[in-house]
Amino acid sequence: MNMNKWYMLPLLSIFLVSGCAINEEIYYWGEYEQLIHDAYINPGSADPATQIEKLNADIQKTEAMGKRVAPGIYAHLGFLYAIEGKDSQSKSAFKQEQALYPESTAFIEGMLNRAMQHKENQL
């Protein structure tokens, strides 16, 4: 029985050390989560221009901090630019999301296709 205690000591110390590890986030979310929350809970609480301004400020802050822009920020920015009728900026933001997160390719291509269809329907 005494031998079992000696085997448990290294395991216990590994658990203690790993439990105390620093959990540093690799992304900076800024106001993105709050903007998304407000968009669903209080529609119209922030107009697209205000959201664009806040997201661009968050992107600059993220770069200054040396972190990665969180997933979805450039996609949301592209969506907001599309609402504002700023097609080239919209496409650029969508492509930036796709470049940073290749797994979003199907989603981004779908967004770009819907934006083009919406534009054609307005003509």
Q: Any idea where the domains of the chain sit in the sequence?
A: 24-122
Is 8 a residue whose pLDDT tops 70? no
Please give the biggest Cα pair distance in the chain.
82
**What is the pLDDT of the chain when averaged over all its residues?**
85
Distances (CA, A) of 28 to 3, 45, 59, 113: 48, 23, 8, 29
Predicted confidence (pLDDT) per residue in 29-64, tens digit: 999 999 999 888 988 888 899 999 999 999 999 999
In this prediction, residues 98-115 reach a mean pLDDT of: 91
> What pTM, to 2 d.p., does this model score?
0.76
